[in-house]
Every structure is written in C-alpha cells, then in structure tokens.
Amino acid sequence: MRRLNILKISLSVIPMLFLSACWNATSIEHIYYAHTVGVDFQDGKYIVYAQMVNFTGSTGQGGGGSNENPSALAVVAGKGETLTEAIHDLYPATQRKIFWGHLSSIIFSQQVLKKNFINVLDKFNRFHQTRPTLWIYATDMPLDQLLTIKPIIEPNAIFSFLGEPWESYEQSILIRPVRMNRFIASINEPGKTTLFPVIRFGNNRWKNLEGQVENLLFNDVAVLENKQFKGILLENQLLGIRWIQGVNVRTPVIVHHEGEAVATFIATKANSKILPKWNNGIPTFDIQVRVDGYIIELIEEETKNVLQKQIEEKVKKQIETTYLEGLKIKSDIFSFSHILYKDNPKKWKQLSEEGGLTLTEESLSSISVIVHIEHAGSEKLLLQ
C-alpha cells in the first residue's frame, strides 16, 4: 500500500519537471502604461500623443516602497496618414512594450472633431485592449502641453480629471463627464445633440511654495449634432444646460437684487419636460422645469416668496440664454429634434426628408419654472 502511494506521488511529480517556466513573462514594472491619448490632425496627418504614467505610487501605501518617482509621467508622439499608422509610429520611440488596458480617456482636438473623429472613436472602440468606459474630452489647447500637467496634490496622474472626473463633478461642476459607451450611444440617437467636456489647463487657480502651478480644468462644452462638430460653448453661455439635463448633484444659483448678491441657493435636484406642439405644421416647444434646493447663504433679509420668484426668473433666463447661444452656432442645443422623434416618429421622418428641423427664437414657445426651497439651514425664512 505504501509502495502504491509512493508510485502515485512519483507519477504526479514527474510531469511537472517537464513543464516550462514563464521565461518570456514581462515584469509589470517593465511595461509602459498608456493612461490618456490625445489625437490631433495637422497638415493632412494624424498626431497621437500618449501619456505614459508610473503606477508605483497609485496605491497610496506609505513607508518602505519603491525609490521610483511615483508622480512620473511622460508623453510620446506618433504621426501618420491614418490613425493606425500614427499609433504604430509610437513604438519605435519606446524602449518597452506599451500596454493599453489601463487607458482612461481620449482627448479630441478641434481639428480632429472637424475632420473625422468617428474614425478615431471607431479605432479605440474596436481595439481589444481598450475598455468601453473611457472618458471623452475635447480641447482647443496644445495636446503635448496639456498631457504633461500633473495633479496639484495627488501623487499620480491617474487621479487627475483625465482619470477620475466624477468626484469633482459630484461636488459641483457644471459639465457632466461622458464615457465612450454613452458617447457612442448618444451620437447614434436620431436627432440628439451630444455634449461633452472641453478640457484645458491654466495657471491662475493654484499656487504652491514655488509660485503659480498649472492645473487642468473643464467648464466649457463641445457640441456635436448629426456627428458634426458645431462648436464650443463657454461656461456663462451654457448655464441653462443643467436644468434641462437634470440635476442630481449640488449646483449654486446666486440671487441678485438691484445688481447686488443677496442670497445663494443650492439646487440639489432638477427635472425637466420638453413638450412639442404643432402650429400650422410647424413644431414649437414648451419647457417645464422643477427645481428643489435650499438657501445656504442669506446676505440680505428677504422673504421666501420673493426668493423663489427671483430664482425662478434666473433659471428661466439661463435656459433662454443657452438656447439662443445654441442658435448662434446653428445647434439644437436642447435636442428638440430628438424629443420630436420620440413623440411622433412619423412626422419627424417627414420633417427630416424635407430638410430637418429648423429652429428659430420662436421655436421655444414658453419656459415654466417652479422652485421649491426646502429649508434655509437652521434659520427660517419669512414667508411673505
């Protein structure tokens, strides 16, 4: 019995001696990890900028550890007549293998958006290493400079807007970050206008012991309609977007009286309805908005009813302003065409065959806003 057990063990061990070891495996510290890709188009060629990061300091573990610089990053550029050629042009300039599985975001330059951003999107969507949850950005600034901006305090570039925009958005940012799968779904919806953040860098916000520090920021939005780039709207032009998209994070509204700030209202929730109507075969649209929130700052004593009315007027004005700014770039900024498609596909198709929906100032027939002030902190507001 004992000999039989020994024989069994021997038979199980002997095959292991012939198994090959992982002699061709690559250590993770010897791989370049692409974190963000920027794509530009100049002089008839695509230019791809790949931001490579060091993940050594990304775990947040203290003590001991590697002697490598945890915040190190570098940007490599490749050029080609096609996007694929430009990406392959990166490889001769890199000493090690590039791994694309940790790619977090793609940045389109304005030139690419005007040229053929669909080709760029299709390439990354097809590539087996990249994920469908990449963040999508636009920019009108030099990509090689933008991609070398490090986070102000965080030890690693993966914690910047390029890798983690959602935490800043939840705290209070106007523009909602967009992932690639949502972006693709949006641009393929009939009549839908797609909005996504414009990312830039500046040096007028942060300062350390060495002086002004460059940092990333996004407050503006790029506009796509029928897969065509319409332009960029600045922060003060698109304040009405938040009320139409819906609010589920904190967003402030400053209440003014005779040009002076008298209160700050924090909107915590907003819902909207866009109702299409037909007048003599011409569609018009009514917007209804409900906003909930609270007064966080009261500079001058004012009644609840007056504050509600002033906030309602301000929200209404912001919606109207954003709509008119959209018309200036010939854009259906609130996706009225998509609303029409969902309401009456047959009429929408007929309208499309006749040239599509043409919007004017009169197309927005009415804006109705109701504001509910839930509380004013520990103090009560006067009702009348």
| pLDDT (0 to 100) of residue 61 | 46
Handedness of CA 48, 88, 26, 96 (dihedral sign): negative
For residue 195, what are the contacts with CB-CB under 8 A and spacing of at least 6?
Answer: 175, 176, 178, 221, 222, 223, 224, 241, 333
Superfamily of domain 239-384, CATH level 4:
Nutrient germinant receptor protein C, domain 3 (3.30.300.210)
Contacts of 155 (CB under 8 A, 6+ apart): 57, 58, 60, 70, 71
Position 5 pLDDT exceeds 80: no
Taking all residues of the chain, what is their mean pLDDT, rounded to a whole number? Answer: 84
Where do we find the tokens 């050629």?
85
How much is the average pLDDT of 206-226?
Answer: 86
pTM confidence score: 0.84
Output the pLDDT for position 274: 96
The single-letter code of the amino acid at 80 is G
What's the confidence (pLDDT) of residue 78? 94
Average confidence (pLDDT) over 303-319: 92
pLDDT digits (tens, 9 = 90+) for 254-300: 988 888 888 899 998 999 999 999 888 889 999 999 999 999 888 88
How confident is the model over 105-136, as pLDDT tens digits? Answer: 999 999 999 988 898 898 888 888 888 899 99
Percent of the chain with pLDDT over 70: 82
Answer yes or no: is pLDDT of 27 > 80: no
- Predicted confidence at residue 175, as pLDDT, reads 81
Render pLDDT for 245-254 as a digit per residue (tens, 0 to 9): 887 778 889 9
pLDDT on residue 68: 45
Looking at residue 290, its pLDDT comes to 95
How do the domains of the chain map onto residue ranges? 28-60+67-235, 239-384
**8 Å CB contact between 368 and 286:** yes
